[in-house]
Every structure is written in structure tokens, then in C-alpha cells.
Chain A
Amino acid sequence: MNTAITIKNLQFSFPIYDQSVKQILFENTSALFQHGMVHAVYGRPETGKTTLGRIMAGLVPTFTGGTITGEVLLGKIDVLKTKGYDLLEHIGMVFQDPDEQILMPLVEDEIVFPLESLGMNRPKIHERLEEEIAFWDLDELRNVNPGNLSGGEKKRVLLAVLCAINPSVWILDETFEELDEQWRETLIQRAVASGKTIIIFASKHIELYDIYIATWSVINDKQIFQGSKDQVLQLLGDNWEYKKLHPSMPYISHSVFEKPETILSVRNLSYTYPQGNSDFTLFVDKLDIYSGKITAFYGPNGSGKSTLSKLLCGLLTPDHGEIFFPENGEKQKHAAIGALQKFTGYLFQNPDYQIFLPSVKEELMYSLVQAGVDRDDAYRQAMSCAELFGLQNLNDIPSIMSYGSRKRLQAAVCYLLDRSCFIFDEADSGILMSEYIRIVDLFVKREASLILITHDLRLAKRLADTVIVFQDGRAQVGFYD
């Protein structure tokens, strides 16, 4: 059987910066991917899935730096000795973050750009363009700036680009994550029907494509292990983590036996984005946030979860309805924007939005000093918080720390804020589930109310006291079946 990709004795480590430790990502590892099959490569966050995909595509270490030895063969092509642009017709990759990959100001231009690089003539480009625009339902978006699209729409644009180029190997890096169920199904059917070599990188097991997977691999402990499905999922530890860490939800607030106090209420709220999609309006009839309790916001992309969260923390003002701080069950005080901003802390999905200082110590001390805390006291609090969140070195430079470390730092920064309620916006993405749960646990122990925004219904049901389900801008209490 033909081998599409051969990896032999691969060794790779990232470059060393000031005060950072040498990070070996792959240590003398090998793997084979057969031609014309669908391969699943799993790995927990930060094990090197994306880097492996980029090594295969000839992009690492050219653009990241680092030391690489071994052999990566794409058929007979030595990838490590070939420029990425010369591999265009052989291998195509859909990046995990679409904003990192989209280059052009219009959707149509984005699809056409690589076809022009291939030297295709105009009729051929036109044929491929129209075919993929129709297939991925992008006709109404063809003259739109891709930067203004939703995450799922951006992924469809990138998939249209990949299909238009039609390389012999497709690498899909966490591509299924942001797609709705219908598009996931479309993608897997298209991938299987293409007869290409498909390599799917994922950090969570998605049962949807089980029946199509020919080989199972997992990146674990600097090695690429290829084996049976059960062996791979065991090493991935996905389900295992849920079972082990959720015996009876010990981190749910002690107030489960007391009458919970309502700390924030919403009544008859509606909001429409002023310059956005005027067909979308958020409606919330009634919502109460309870002291020390966990509320999950669950729903598909664009259903209103983040919009409501921004309203609750004072970043947006509702068009109608009210948000208020109740006391003794009665309407007490309309929550002004300034009051809400000081009431609610927010863990953004991207930790880099809030990180700007040159050391972990300065990041942790910053908000405390701003709030008037004495510097020595702020330092002590920062030290103890760093220990709590597993931040080993207070002198580490946040911007070059690993993604997981930056997430923990962001959580630590929020932890030190004097807030009654915290919103975790998809904070589980990119970190180990155990780590995420530990962070949730820390916040619950300080008796804060939590709102968890998530795509993961299992997570929502396991962790939350209440699940608010969002569908087309409407929020309802209940479970999504």
C-alpha cells in the first residue's frame, strides 16, 4: 500500500528564549500515514498536534525557529528540504485559528489566491471557485471581508480554499470544532468521498467520524503512538478524566443545602447589535444568578451566549429590559454599567487580551496595586496566587509562555480581582480538562458565582447547577437533548 506521509526518527524542539526552558516536542518518533485513508491524530492540548501538522506542511521550523532532525517524507518528497510553497499541490492544511490563515480582504479573493499561485488559467480558476462557493454555501459571502465572518463561516471559507486547491493530503487541525453539526457531516462526507489522504488532528474524541477512521494515533509524551482506537483513547484520557474527577462534584458550593441568594437578575431583556445582523436579537425573559452557584451557557455559535455575557458584565447596554442587583427577592438597584464592570470578572477565550506586562509577578500585582493595595502585600498575594495556579516562576515572560500557562495566568489575574461573579468564556479550550476543572474549583471555593460559556454539553451538565440553553437568540433553562 502507498504511504502518503512517512515520519522517521523525528526530533523537534522549539528555540530557547531568555529564562525559558528547552521544550522538546518530539523525541525520536516515527509514524506512517497511508495514502487514500482517513487518519485520526489525537493529543491533549500543547502536545504538538498543530506543530506536527505544520512540520508535515513544510512550515516548521522555517517560521517558528527550533531544531529539527529526522525525516519527513511526503511520498518521495523530503519535506524538511522543500519550501512550503512548493508543496502547495501536495499538502493542504486548515489552521486551527482561521484568523491566522485568512489573508485576503474578500472571500472570493481568498479562494482564488492559491489557484493563482498554482498558475491556473482563468477558466479553470473560475470553475473551481464557483464549485466550492456553491458547495460550502458561500455565495452570499463572496464579496464580504472574511474578518467579519463568524468562526464557523471562516472555517468554511478555508475548507473551500482547501478543496479548490485539491492537494493529495488534507490536514484538518481541530477543524470540526467550530462547525455546526450539519457542516461537520458535510465535511467528513466530502473528505471520505475525495479519496485523498485525510489527517484529522483533535484534542477531543468526536464519534461522528469513527466509522471512517482507518488509523488511530495519539501524541503522548513526545511520541506519536499508532494503535487501536481503545488504546489511543485510553492514552488521550478524554472520558477517563471526566469519570475520575467528577465523582459527586465536590466543588459545587456548600450552599447547595442553603437557600441560595440571588446576586444578579435579568428581566425581559432584549438586545440587537446596532451595526451587525439586524435579524439577530437576543431575548431573555428571566435569568437569576445565585451566589456561589455555577450556571452554564450552552448553545451553538451565534446563539447569543457571549452577547448575554457582555450585557451581564456591562460591556453592552440592553435595548429593553433590566439588569439589577436584587435584595431579599425584591428589585433593589438598577445595575449601572460601571457597577456591572466592577461586579463581574471575565476570562476571555484568548488569554492574550488581558496580558501585557513583562513578567508574571507584574501581571499578578498590577490589579492589586491599581486597587490601592500596598506593594508588599500585593507581592505576597501574588506569590500565593501563583502557587495556587501552578505558575512556577514569577519572572517568566507571559508573552512567550505556553498557551496553557497563559490561561492559568489569566485565571490567576482574575482570581485576584475583587468580583462576585466570574464569566468563563470557553475557558476549557486549549487546556487539559483536569486543569480547567481545578481552576473552576478554585473560584467556587472563594464563593464566587460562575457562568461557564461552553460548546460542551457534557461539561455543562457535569459542572453546572443550572444550564441555560441558547437557541437563535433565546435563552431557556433546561437541558439540550
Chain B
Amino acid sequence: MIESSYHPGKTFVHTFDPRAKFFLLIVFTTTMFLPFQIEFLASYAVIMILLAFPAAGFRNAFSPLKVLIPIIILIIVLTPPFIKEGEILITYNNWILLTDTGLMRTCVLLSRFIGITYVFFVFFRSTPLNQVILTLRWYGLSMKAALIISMTFRFIPYITSTYHRVSEAHKLRGSFQSGMWGWSRLKGLVPVLTSVLIQTVKSIPVMSMSLEHRGFGRNIRRTSYQRLRGGRKLFTHLIFSVIIAIILIMPTFLM
């Protein structure tokens, strides 16, 4: 999902320096766990959803919600019945279904969940992968760790397509059918996942071979072709990010 998520554009979200964006990503994610009132958390989540429009375009702005719907439903259904404190709002046959505290906690969880999902969505949608990796390196990630992340993104579609091809192969062998459900489906997945695992494991030594053949491991210092430009733009964006971070955290001091 992350691999194919970059959506090119020229909006302010796209042109904002990725290092400053990453700083805000961390700050925002952290603030969502601070003990703010629900009004602030919900507002932050709404701001992130609004930022998704320039980042991903109108059509795709709600795409994370489509994926999250099952989890949102689970949160709504499973959180309130377990919180009995506060004023009772809904009961059924002496069962407390909803209290005001339960409602508040559910809203907090939903705001956090949606807010954090959207902040990552906005970041990855507006930042090309190579800039994401350069940003992590700028913040101190080692070259080897950055290479692992790059190769992971290279191999996600490879493993996905391998899974699809293996599934097709096993469908035609009769060991896995699309219409299967429950235990049969799980059982049918075993041959598929085993074949995928074998393929993946077999590719490890060859991948290592390719890395070495590309010069990884040489004693001389590696250069870097890609770079993130510094200068006034970076300075301005970082200052702006710090200001936003202070505004985000300010409600803590008002409580």
C-alpha cells in the first residue's frame, strides 16, 4: 500500500520540505496520545482529513477510510460495553450499553486512529519514496538500514505478484478455490503460502549475490547521487513546523 501511494502534485503539501513534514509527522503522532480534550483530538483528525485532499486528490482522499471501516466498526461496537463509568446513556435489559465516559473514550480512540492514519497517508501520498528515504537518512538512519527499506519497497510488489501467480497456479491445481470460506480457505492457503515462502527464501542468496555484484560492501566510501536541498527553504519550513508543533502541543498547557 505504501509503495504505490505517492500521488504527484504541486500543492503546498507536496512542496513542503520532506524533513519538515517528517518532523510534523512525529509531532502530530505524539500529540494524538497526549491527554487532550476530545474537541482538540477530533479537530486534529479533521485537519488531517482536509489535508488529504491536496495530497491525494479529491477522489482518493477518503480511500484510507474505506480500508479502516472494519476496524472503526469494531472500535464502535467493542469499546462502549466495557466502560461502565459515568452517566448512563443507553441500557438494554439492565445491560449498560453506553455511558458518557464510554462515548468519550470511543471518540478519543476513533480520533486518534483516524488522525494517525491520515497523517501517515498525507505524508506518503505527498512525498516520493526516494525523498522519504533521504529524509530518514538526514535524521540519522544508517545507509544499511535505508537500503533495507528501499529493498523492502522493491520487493513488496514482487512478493505480491508471486503470491497472485502462486494462487492462480494452485487454483488450477485444485488446491485453492476463490469461493472457499472459513477453515477450507485457511487450509487452501497453506499450499499457496508454502510455495510463496519457498520462492522468497530461495531468492535470498541470489539477492545477496546481486548486492555484492553491485558493489555493496566495498571499502571505499559510497557517494550519494540523490540529495535534499538545504538553504532558505529548509530553514523556513523547519521554523514553520516548529511553530505548528508548539500550537499543537499548546492545549496541554491550557488544561
Q: Contact residues of A with B, CB < 8 Å?
A: 54, 57, 59, 62-64, 83-86, 88, 92-93, 95, 99-106, 109, 112-122, 125-126, 129, 143, 145-148, 161, 310, 313, 315, 338, 341-342, 344-346, 348, 350, 352-357, 366-367, 370-371, 399, 413-414, 417
Contact = CB atoms under 8 A, between A and B. Distances in A.
Contact of B171 (A105, A120, A143, A315): A315
A342 B173 CA distance: 9
B2 to A, nearest CB: 11
Chain B, interface SS category: helix
A258 B53 CA distance: 66
A83 to B, nearest CB: 7
Contacts of A117: 214-216, 218, 222
Given A105-B3, A121-B223, A147-B157, A346 B172 contact: yes
A66 to B, nearest CB: 12
A418 B159 CA distance: 30
Given A100-B209, A115-B225, A117-B214, 20 more contacts: A54-B209, A63-B205, A85-B214, A88-B214, A101-B210, A102-B154, A103-B150, A105-B130, A109-B226, A117-B222, A119-B223, A121-B223, A125-B225, A126-B225, A147-B161, A315-B168, A348-B165, A353-B166, A356-B198, A417-B174
Contact of B218 (A62, A86, A120, A367): A86
Given A63-B206, A367-B173, A370-B175, A116 B165 contact: no
A104 B154 contact: yes
Contacts of A106: 129-130
Contacts of B203: 99-100
Nearest to B190: A356
A103 B155 CA distance: 8
B9 interface: no
Contacts of A122: 223, 225, 227
Interface in B36-92: none
B174 A59 contact: no
B132 to A, nearest CB: 10
B223 A83 contact: no
B154 A345 contact: no
A103 B214 contact: yes
Contacts of B174: 342, 367, 370-371, 417
A85 B215 contact: yes
Contacts of A417: 173-174
Given A105-B3, A147-B154, A371-B174, A83 B212 contact: yes
Given A93-B213, A147-B161, A125 B175 contact: no
B210 to A, nearest CB: 5
Given A113-B214, A115-B225, A370-B174, A352 B195 contact: yes
A245 B195 CA distance: 35
B225 A355 contact: no
Nearest to A399: B198
B208 interface: yes
Q: Count chain A CB atoms within 10 A of each CB in B3, B154, B172 and give the residue with the most.
A: B172
Contacts of A104: 150-151, 154
Given A103-B207, A145-B157, A114 B214 contact: yes
Contacts of B175: 366-367, 370
Contacts of B251: none
Nearest to B4: A145
Interface in B184-235: 191-192, 194-195, 198-199, 202-203, 205-218, 220-227
A357 B198 CA distance: 10
B169 A118 contact: no
B73 to A, nearest CB: 27
A93 B214 CA distance: 10
Contact of B199 (A62, A114, A338, A352): A352
Contacts of A92: 213
21 contacts: A63-B205, A63-B206, A63-B212, A85-B215, A88-B215, A92-B213, A95-B210, A103-B154, A104-B150, A115-B225, A117-B215, A122-B223, A122-B227, A143-B128, A145-B153, A147-B154, A350-B165, A354-B166, A354-B170, A367-B175, A399-B198
Which of B129, B208, B215, B224 has the most chain A CB atoms closer than 10 A to its own CB?
A: B215
Contacts of A341: 171-172, 177
